[in-house]
Every structure is written in C-alpha cells, then in structure tokens.
A and B are shown apart, each in its own frame.
Chain A
Amino acid sequence: MDQSSFLFQALVYLTAAVLMVPIAKKAGLGSVLGYLVAGMLIGPAFLNLVGDSTNVMHAAEFGVVMMLFVIGLELEPSLLWKLRKPIVGLGGLQVLCTLGLVCLIAMAMGYEWKVSLAIGMIVAPSSTAIVLQTFQEKGLMKTEAGQGGFSVLLFQDIAVIPMLALLPLLGNGTASNNSSSHAGGTWVSHQPAWFQTLLVFAAVVFIILAGRFLIRPLLRIVAAARVREVFTATSLLLVIGITVLMTKVGLSPALGTFLAGVVLADSEYRHELESDIEPFKGLLLGLFFIAIGASINFQLLANLPVLLFGIVLGLMIIKCLILLVLGRSFRLSTDQNLLFSLGLCQIGEFAFVLLTFSRQEQIISNEIADIIMAAVALSMALTPVLFLFFERVIQPRFGTLEKTEREPDTITEKSPVIIAGFGHFGNTVGRFLKANGIGCTILDIDSDRVDFLRKFGFKVYYGDASRYDLLHSAGAADAKVILITIDDAEKRLEMIETIKKHFPNLQMMVRSSNRYDAYDQMNAGMLHIYRETLDSSLRMGVDTMKLLGHRSYTATRAAQTFLKYDELAVKKLSSIRDQKQYINTSREFIEELEKIIRNDARMPDIAREKGWDDDSLIKEVKDNA
C-alpha cells in the first residue's frame, strides 16, 4: 500500500467514525453500533470506499490485545483468584456445551465429524471486544452479569489456544505454513509437542517474572527520564513485545498481555500505563468494529437471506439458551441472567482467526467458510441491538415489576432525595436518612440488591443512573437533592453533566474517591463534594491521639480543624492547578503531596487558640504586681 492510498484509507475510516459514533451515542445506541454502521456504510455494499478490509481487521485485532492489557491492569491477582470458580466452571461449561451441541447439530445435518468439530470450535467463543467494551461503557462490569460475562470471555480466550493446536490435527496435513499472526510461529511449530508445551509454560513464567523484576525497574528508569512520549513508547513496546513473544510460542497474545496487565496491576505505574494505552486501544478497537461492519457480505445476504439469517438466529439462540441454563445453575438472578445470555450469545472475533486457520488446513470448504464468516459478522452486528433490546424492553420490565403494585405511594409522596448507587457508600447515607424519616428513592444497577431493598420497602429503580429517562422516572424533576454515590468515578462525572443539563434545579451531593476525583468534580462545578478517604482517616487519627494519651476533646477539635482546613486547601489547589494536568505517575503524586504537606504548616493550630489560655493573663498580673 503506497502512502497516498494509506492516507486516503485513514481519511475514510476516521471520517466514518467521527460522523457515525457521535450520532449513535446521541441516539443512545452505544459506540459499538456506531462503528459497525460506519463500517457498513464505507464497505463494498454501499459507498465501496475501502478495498479488502481483512488486512485492516488483522491490524485492528491488536486493539483487542490492548484491551485485555488494560483489563488486566485493572484486575488484581486477588480478584482473579476470587473469580476462579466462574472462570473455570461457567466459562468451561459454556465452551464445552456450545462446542458439543453445535458439533452434534452439524453432524446431524450431514457434515463430516471433523468439519462439525471445527464449526463448533469456531462458534463457541463470544466477542471479547464488543461485550467488554459495551459492559464498560454502560458501567455494568461490576454487576453479576458483568462478572459472569468477563469470566466466560476470559476462559474462551484461554480455550482458543488448545483449539488452535487441535485444528491442524483435523486437517489432512497438506496445509502450508500460515501467515496468520495468531497461529504458531514457524520454528516453534516444528518442535516436538512436549517441547512446545514446555515453551508455553516458560513464556508464561517469563511474563510473570519479567513483569516483576524487569518491567518495573525499566518503567522506573523511563519515568525518571521525564520524557512523556518515551513512556508511551515503552507502554506500546511492552504490549507489542508480549504479542510477538506469545505469537512465537503459539499462545494467544491477548492472553499474554492480559497476564502482563495483571502482574503490573499493583505497580505504581498502573495509571500511567493505562492512560497511555487507552487511546490506542480505543482507536484500534474502533477500527476493528468498522472492519467488521465493512466485511459483512451483503451480496451473500441478498442471495441467501433465509439461510444466512436462519444460521445466525439459530446459532445465537443455541448459545443464548446454553448461557441461560448455565447462568441459572450459577444462580444469576433472572434479569442478570438475561443480560449475561443476550450479551454473550454472538460469535466472537476469534472465529475469524479460527476460520482462516481452518481454511488453510482445508478442513472447511470456502463456501461454508464464507457463509460462517458472514454469519459471525452479522451476529456481532446484532449484539449492540440485543443490548439495546435488553435496556429498553427487558430492564424496564424488571425495574417496574413491583412498582406497579405500589404505584399510588410513588405518586402521593414524592421523595425529596434520590440516592444513585446503593453500594457501601450509598447504603450508609441511605440508612441514615431513612432512620431519620427522610424519604429516599434509590437507583441501583445491581438487580439482586434492588430485589433485596424492595423487600425492605425502599423505593428502588433499577438501571444506569446516568441515563436521563431513568432519572426522570425516578422523579428527578421534583426531588430536591440527589446523592451521587455510585462507585465509578467517570460515571459520576457523566451523571453530573446529565443532571446539569436536564435537571438544573436538582441539588447534587457527590461522593469522590480521592483528591483528584474531587478536582474533576470541582471543575464540573460541584459544591458539595465528599471525599470518602477524608472523614474516616481523621477519625482514625483522633483515636490514635487518644491512645497516645491526648485528651479526646482536643483530638476531636484538632480533627475538625484539619477537616475544614483540608477542604479549603483542596479548593485552593484546584483553582491554581493546570486543568489539563492529570496526575499519572507516583512521582507527580509525591510532588503534589509535598506541596500539600508544606502547606500544612499554615494550618490553624488549636494549641495556639488563646480563649482557654491564661499565659498572657498570668503575665499581666505579674507585671502589675
């Protein structure tokens, strides 16, 4: 590809994304659908502005690799260990059941068992890219459906490795060495099986050890150089290096970077790595979705509409049913289970890789491969629609299931207070207000919690609290105050914007995770900001002073003074601070802390209060004598 055509392609892709994604977002459809539609528009079926999008798709698959790195960064090993049961149980059963059932059906339709098995393997994984992106965008990662979905996707990523290893065995051995980035490297694949296995283990151990003992010191050195783009380069190098290594030993690069992410999750450079990779990840993922949109074969769809839609719907229904049954046996509540099952019932991007591979190994004929390829792309394109369906049709049904019975009291007594997010933070405030007879309406995204709270007579609405319609039906137009206590800091900022725009008379009280969060919220114009790390740390300080023998009233007053002072100091720092400057490295964190601690010298000292002090009086009396 020469340079001008490369630039032209970039122009087309970027224009499509820039035009379509905001429109899709505005219409409440989510960015994934926007990208997909953009891809369809520039694809051969409509404007035909791009040639073969397969190359682009291969490049863009790297976005998925980066996404898993970022996800790994947010996932500490302890959490991963906690999820081991759903990963192996839920994920394992999903892959096995889907694979088995699809394989049997294919055999019943008269395909050879080898072909059937290959089809089963191609169909079993779901789309990590679409599902995780959507879950994150909608703030669903922490729900049961989100956690379950994540577990299954993670297992699928792992399961792809043995699948790739298995496919050559199904072929008739005439396959040429392939060029796919996901397939085994040339040298390694010629080694005996035991040696390959050993290499795989060695690579995993190498990543874990390197993460601890090589990458961290390296990051420290690079960060000390204080050249920002070099740190970005290092982050990219890290991801690309792991990808190359993983590809060489025949492991999934996504899995490798995920592992590296987990290893680095508790490092001090976590946030900087994350914010460096984030834009690349976003762009490449977008590109990936566009490429899928562009690759949908509308010609085939026009020729064989019934067959193609039959296959797509059939496969999605099979996957969905299996997920439903599994979700139920893993005790997901009905609506979470529906979200989980509808969300994961598409066929994922691994299908493209597995298909290419199968074609090379001549397991699957080109006609079948084409049809499956189209079906996969279609099923992925349908996923955002399913999410929308869940959000607009299913969710409200659950959200209003019991409301209908209590309709009168919703109308007669309008709560003056809305609490968005009833987690650890929100429930304390909520209990406190309820104990004092203050009516609260609660918005929460965790359906189990919603059910539980309803039993106790709380007025609860289920769903994403940053959505206008949910806020509206919760009575945001008539309430006096809204307490924004959800866990996700970005969602909180989103909520603030929504409320500012649609409910200007609603007072906002907002929880903030830390100082930086508070800065952002101040920039957003918030007056009532509650840092969750402030009051309890000070109470701990008071009790420490008491244990050391200080008077309890003095310690309490010292803490009150500190609290007031610190609130003021944050306001001051926020006003003199460069708004574009985000704190990423621990070095910058320390610099700011230094500023703060230096400032502390100016804190009013209660020991210097003169009201209870009689030194000057004693002096005066002595002078007079």
Chain B
Amino acid sequence: MARILLIFAHPALEKSRVQKELLQKIPGLPGISFHDLYETYPDFLIDVNQEKQLLLKHDLILFQFPFYWYSAPAIIKQWMELVLEHGWAYGKDGKALAGKGWMNIISCGGSKEAYQLNGRNHRTIHEYLYPFEQTARLCSMEYWPPFVVHGTHRLDSTDIRLYASQYEQLLLGLEADRISLEERTGCIYMNDLIPLPTSIQS
C-alpha cells in the first residue's frame, strides 16, 4: 500500500464544476490523506512544521489544482516557498523528501490540441509544468507524469463524471501499487493508463 498525500488547492471551489466532481471521487482509503490548503490556511499562514510532518509520513505527494494562468493557484507557490526549506528538502543535507513521488493533477480550459507547439497555447502541458518538475528534481524526488482534465469549458456533466471515475481508478491503482514503473515512465499523462472513450468532448 502506497501512502499518498493529496494536497488540494482551489481558491473558489464554490464556482468549480470539474474539481468538485474530482473531489467527490477520491476513494476513502487508509492510504490516502486529503489536505485542503485554502481551507486550512485561509490567511496563508502556513504551518511549516505541520506540513513537513505530513510530507514525511507519505511516499507519494499529489498536487491537485485548477491550472490558472499556466500555473498553480497562489497558495501552492506560497507552500513551496515556505515548506521546501534549504537543508531539509534540498541542498547538501536536504534529503528529507528524497525518493518520494510528485504528481500534479490539473484541470485546464484548453484542449489537448491547444497545448501543442502549433496550438493556441504554443507549449505543451509538460513544458508549462517545468518549474514543478525541476522543483521535484532539486528535492531528489521522482517527478511523475500529470493527470490532466482538458477542455473544462466544453465538458458536459457526463464527460466530467467520466473524468472523475478515471481519476478514482487512478487513485485506487496508485494506493494498491498496481501501476508499474514501466507503465508510469512510459506514458505522457497518467490518464493514458486508464483510457476513456475517444468521443469525450475535449
């Protein structure tokens, strides 16, 4: 059983359709801890020690957030600045997180096609996520491919539910160590391991 920490950030969950549905499907398993940053720290006063203890107790760290302006909501940045201390997370003696996994779970308005060199956004999701990848590397963590919900503005409720159950299956598989190293390193998005019907609107 993998010990998974799901760090969630959404500044206005009331207005969300996709993220709300994804949250609904998070399986209540002993191996999965859910941690809601905006709910815990509405004043952005992050308890660094508490966060460190949480990180140490888990092997795989998931960050779930809406992909605002090609990045994460502000509190994730604040969290990274404060929690990933030199001498603890990185640096000569900073090995606390070494070997743990880092995975982003994002929802974005643009379609898969839009996130191509010749698409509207001119870069792939991977390229936009480089800061996270490099952060993970600096902390000697393994950076895993992201789970992405594309084209959120277009999705109808059925499609959103399809994505949500795909997410549920991913979490079930991760918690029970059902996803092999080859599978995970061989895919572009984690979504690829649990295929959805191609007719999905995105």
Residues of A within 8 A of B (CB): 542, 551-557, 607, 612-614, 617-618, 620-622, 625
Contacts and interface: CB of A to CB of B under 8 A. Distances in A.
B12 to A, nearest CB: 4
Interface in B120-172: 152-154
B89 to A, nearest CB: 25
B113 to A, nearest CB: 14
Contacts of A555: 42
Interface string B30-57: 0000000011101100000000000000
Given A551-B13, A554-B12, A556-B43, A614 B38 contact: no
Contacts of A613: 12, 15
A557 B13 CA distance: 13
Contact of A614 (B14, B43, B153): B153
A620 B42 CA distance: 32
A460 B171 CA distance: 61
Interface string B4-45: 000000011111000000000000000000000011101100
Given A614-B153, A617-B153, A553 B15 contact: no
B17 to A, nearest CB: 8
Contacts of A625: 154
B109 interface: yes
23 contacts: A542-B42, A551-B12, A551-B38, A551-B39, A552-B39, A552-B42, A553-B38, A553-B39, A553-B42, A554-B14, A555-B42, A556-B43, A607-B14, A612-B11, A613-B15, A614-B15, A614-B109, A617-B109, A617-B153, A618-B153, A618-B154, A622-B154, A625-B154
Nearest to A619: B153
A621 B153 contact: yes
Nearest to A606: B12
A570 B67 CA distance: 40
Contacts of A622: 154
Contacts of B14: 551, 554, 607
B153 to A, nearest CB: 4
Contacts of A612: 11-12, 15, 68
Please name the 5 residue pairs, one residue from A and one from B, whose CB atoms are nearest each other, closest first. A556-B42, A612-B12, A553-B38, A553-B42, A552-B42
B34 to A, nearest CB: 15
* Most chain A C-beta atoms within 10 Å of own C-beta, residue among B15, B38, B42: B42
Contacts of B11: 553, 612
**Binding site secondary structure of chain A:** helix
Contacts of A557: 42
A401 to B, nearest CB: 42
Query: Which of A542, A554, A607, A613 has the most chain B CB atoms inside 10 A of its CB?
Result: A554
Interface residues of B, number: 15
B38 A552 contact: yes
A556 B11 CA distance: 11
Contacts of B38: 551-553
B202 to A, nearest CB: 11
Interface string B90-114: 0000000000000000000100000
A534 to B, nearest CB: 17
A618 B151 CA distance: 10
B69 to A, nearest CB: 10
Contacts of B39: 551-553
Contacts of A552: 38-40, 42
Nearest to A550: B14
Contacts of A542: 42
A567 B153 CA distance: 39
A622 B152 CA distance: 12
A377 B184 CA distance: 100
Contacts of B15: 612-614
B133 to A, nearest CB: 26
Nearest to B73: A612
Scoring A551, A617, A620, A622 by chain B CB atoms within 10 A of each residue's CB, the highest score goes to: A551
B152 A614 contact: yes
A582 B12 CA distance: 43
A617 to B, nearest CB: 5
Nearest to A621: B153
A607 B109 CA distance: 21
Contacts of B42: 542, 552-553, 555-557
Contacts of B40: 552
Given A552-B42, A553-B42, A621 B154 contact: yes
Nearest to B154: A621
Contacts of A620: 153
Contacts of A621: 109, 153-154
B87 to A, nearest CB: 25
Contacts of B13: 551
Contacts of B153: 614, 617-618, 620-621
A625 B109 CA distance: 15
Residue from B15, B38, B109, B154 having most chain A Cβ neighbours under 10 A: B15
A621 B109 CA distance: 10
Nearest to A616: B153
Contacts of A607: 14
Nearest to A551: B13
A425 B142 CA distance: 51
A351 B11 CA distance: 74
A618 B68 CA distance: 15
B32 to A, nearest CB: 21
A553 B13 CA distance: 10
A554 B11 CA distance: 7
A207 B154 CA distance: 76
Most buried by A among B12, B43, B109: B12
